Amino acid sequence: MTTAERRREISEQVELWLRMYRQMVAIRQFEMQVNELYTRALMPGLAHLYIGEEAVAVGVCEAIERTDYITSTHRGHGHCLAKGASPNQMFAELLGKRAGYCKGKGGSMHIADPATGNLGANAIVCGSAGIATGAAFSSRRLGNGRIAVCFFGEGALGQGVLYEVMNLAQLFKLPVIYVCENNLYTEYTHYSETTAGDILMRATAFGVEAVSVDGQDVRAVHGVAQRLVNRARDGDGPGFLLCNTYRYHGHHVGDINREYYRSKQEEQTWKSERDPITNLGKWLVEQGLADTAVFAQVERELEAEMKKAVEFAIAAPYPSVEEVAEDVYA
Ligand SMILES: Cc1ncc(C[n+]2csc(CCOP(=O)(O)OP(=O)(O)O)c2C)c(N)n1
* Separation of CA 170 and ligand 1 centre (Å): 26
Do the Cβ atoms of 54 and 276 come closer than 8 Å? yes
What confidence tier does 252 reach under pLDDT thresholds 50, 70, 90? very high
From residue 323, how far is each of 105, 327, 328 by CA, in Å? 10, 8, 10
Q: What is the pLDDT of residue 156?
A: 98
Please say if the pLDDT value at position 58 is more than 80: yes
User: What are phi and psi for residue 252, nearest 5 degrees?
Assistant: -135, 175
Atom of ligand 1 nearest to the CA of 182: 16
| Whether residue 185 has its Cβ less than 6 Å from ligand 1 | yes
Please say if the pLDDT value at position 330 is more than 80: no
* Separation of CA 75 and ligand 1 centre (Å): 9
Neighbours of 288 (CB within 10 A): 7
| Whether residue 74 has its Cβ less than 6 Å from ligand 1 | yes
User: What are phi and psi for residue 197, nearest 5 degrees?
Assistant: 75, -165
What digits encode the pLDDT tens for the residues 111-149? 999 999 999 999 999 999 999 999 999 999 999 999 999
* Separation of CA 214 and ligand 1 centre (Å): 22
Query: Could you tell me what percent of the chain has a pLDDT over 90?
Result: 95
Please give the helix or strand (H or E) that residue 181 lies within, else none. Answer: strand 176-182
- CA dist., res. 287 & res. 93, Å (int): 40
User: Which residue's alpha carbon is at the smallest distance from atom 18 of ligand 1?
Assistant: 153
- CA dist., res. 328 & res. 142, Å (int): 29
The residue ranking higher by pLDDT, 222 or 327, is 222
Do the Cβ atoms of 34 and 47 come closer than 8 Å? yes
* Separation of CA 10 and ligand 1 centre (Å): 41
What digits encode the pLDDT tens for the residues 69-105? 999 999 999 999 999 999 999 999 999 999 999 999 9
Mean pLDDT, residues 206-235 taken together: 98
What digits encode the pLDDT tens for the residues 159-209? 999 999 999 999 999 999 999 999 999 999 999 999 999 999 999 999 999
* Separation of CA 192 and ligand 1 centre (Å): 15
| Whether residue 246 has its Cβ less than 6 Å from ligand 1 | no
| Whether residue 187 has its Cβ less than 6 Å from ligand 1 | yes
Find the length of the chain. Answer: 330
Do the Cβ atoms of 194 and 186 come closer than 8 Å? yes
What confidence tier does 327 reach under pLDDT thresholds 50, 70, 90? confident
Do the Cβ atoms of 96 and 44 come closer than 8 Å? yes
Task: Find all residues with CB under 8 Å of 139, minimum gap 6, and list them.
Answer: 69, 145, 146, 147, 148, 174, 175
